[in-house]
Amino acid sequence: MMIRRGSLRADIGRLMLIAVLLLGGIVMVFPLFWLLSTSLRPAPELLFVPPRLLPEQWTLENYQELFASAPMFTYLWNSIVFAVVSTVFVLLTSTVAGYIFAKFQFPGNNALFILVLATALVPFEVYMVPLFSQMNMLHLVNQPLGLFLPFLVLSYGIFFMRQNTITSVPDELLDAARIDGMGEFGIMLRMVPRLLAPAMSALAILAFIQAWTAFIWPLLILNDPQLFPMELGLSQFANSFSVNFGVTSAGAVFAMLPTLIAFIILRRRIVQGITLTGLKG
């Protein structure tokens, strides 16, 4: 697929490529469309054999029930605070540690990095009980801080920023800045983030989603529904025997809207970041 601007063959090739990508994209969003369509039908229609693509009788009753039976906006607000705090700290800790691991030789560099990587390999179900005991010792059970703390660092965030620092931050640039008399803190806090802007935006999205979809930890650490984030609040609809799939779908649609919006906004930032880095040549 050789692409030369202006050539007719290339244009046709490009259009076909887009068509294939769009087809794949439709497959990707189909399950989501299914959730949306399910959230808009009355309960008996969920049992139609065979199932229909669109509701026969459109209804908002699932959304009404969702908002009537749970403080969805409290959950939403809690989730936003939680995700934003987590994202800010993950960005900070990951960028700093990733940069140090990538660009500084010091005794224990490799050992520490392997330790970081190794902790990413352990399933949460294994260490959550000791972690919970630690939080309890600090009297952080049922406290927002207890919820936030484990989400302030992200093993693979550090790994991610290290890999991106290797790719996107040339040593020559750092040395030049040092020769110009720039301090280490200045380089790390002012120059490096500019070079890493696209990676940081990507990490921000991932960290945001990670906090947004967290379930087991909020479940363990929080007791008061007024403190629940969305995913935990939604679980009461999704997991009983006689699940009302219509309401569950409505909840899922409502829960993913903010992340969708955040992604669209942050994606622009990525593009912006690239134009910034384009300057580096």
Partner 1 sequence: MTNPLGAVRRVPPRTWARYRFVAIVLTPVMALFLFLRVVPTAQAFLMSFFEWNLIRPASEFVGLDNYIKLLSDRNFISAFTNTTVFAVATTVLSVGIAFVLAAVLARAVVGRVGAFIELLYFIPVLVPMVPVTLGWREIFNYQNGILNALLGVFGIPKQPWLSDPNMALIAVIILSVWKLIGYNLIILLVGMRAIPREYHEAAAVDGAGAWHQFRYITVPLLAPVTLFVIVITTISSYNVFTQVYVLASDVQGQPGRLVRVIVYDIFENGFRFFKMGYASAEAVYLFLVILALTFIQFRFLRGART
Partner 2 sequence: MHRTQGRTKALVLGSSVAIAAMAWGPAAAAPTASSGGSASFQQAADACGTDPVTLNVWGGYPENDEVYRQAGEAFTALHPNVSFTIFSTDLRGFEQKLVTALPTNTAGDVVIRTTNFLARFIDEGLLQPLPDDLQAAVAGGDYHPAVVQDSTYADGVWGVPLFTGGTAVFYNTDMYTEAGITEPPTSMDALIANAYKTFKVDGAGATTRSGWSHRLSGQGSGVAEKFWILLLQDGKTLIRETPEGSGKWVAEYNGPEGVKLFQMYVDMLRDGVDSINIEHDAAAFEKQLTAQFLRESWVVPEIATSAPDLVGHYATIAPPAADILTVESAFVPAAAAHPECSWEFIRFLREPDQQQNLIKVSGWLPARQGLDYTDLLAQNPGFAGFLTGRENLALTVTPAIPEFDEIETKLAGHLVEGYADYANLAGNPEAIQALLNGWADETNQILKDNDHFGG
Which of left, alpha, beta for 224 (phi over 0: left; psi -120 to 50: alpha)?
beta
Which of partner 2, partner 1, none sits in contact with 142, Cβ below 5 to 8 A by type?
Answer: partner 2
Using CB under 8 A as the binding rule, whether residue 28 contacts partner 2 is answered as no
**Distance from C-alpha of 156 to C-alpha of 159, rounded to nearest angstrom:** 5
Site for partner 1 in 15-74 (CB under 8 A): 17-18, 21-22, 24-26, 28-32, 34-35, 38, 49-51
Are the C-beta atoms of 116 and 159 separated by less than 8 Å? yes
**Distance from C-alpha of 116 to C-alpha of 166, rounded to nearest angstrom:** 17
Which of partner 2, partner 1, none sits in contact with 176, Cβ below 5 to 8 A by type?
Answer: none
Q: At what angle do helices 155-168 and 72-103 cross, to 10 degrees?
A: 50
Q: How many residues bind partner 2 (CB under 8 A)?
A: 30
**Distance from C-alpha of 48 to C-alpha of 42, rounded to nearest angstrom:** 11
- Dihedral, CA of residue 242, residue 247, residue 250 and residue 256, to nearest 10: -50
Site for partner 2 in 29-58 (CB under 8 A): 43-44, 46-47, 49
The pair of structure tokens assigned to 127 is 């260490």
Site for partner 1 in 221-280 (CB under 8 A): 231, 234-235, 238-243, 245, 248-249, 251-252, 255-256, 259-260, 263-264, 267, 270-271, 274, 277-278, 280
Are the C-beta atoms of 202 and 270 separated by less than 8 Å? yes
Contact pick of 96, 112, 153, 219 for partner 2 (by CB under 8 A): 219
Closest CA to 229 of 220, 237, 218: 218
CB of 189 to partner 2, least distance (A): 39
Which range, of 6-14, 190-198, 203-211, 237-245, touches partner 2 by CB under 8 A?
Answer: 237-245
Contact pick of 7, 69, 110, 134 for partner 1 (by CB under 8 A): 134
Site for partner 2 in 95-154 (CB under 8 A): 128-129, 132-133, 136, 141-142
CB of 227 to partner 1, least distance (A): 19
Helices and strands (H, E) in the chain, number of each type: 14, 0
Site for partner 1 in 190-209 (CB under 8 A): 198-199, 201-202, 205-206, 209
Closest CA to 268 of 212, 209, 210, 198: 198
Q: Contact positions toward partner 2, by CB under 8 A?
A: 43-44, 46-47, 49, 128-129, 132-133, 136, 141-142, 215-216, 219-220, 223-226, 232, 235-242, 244
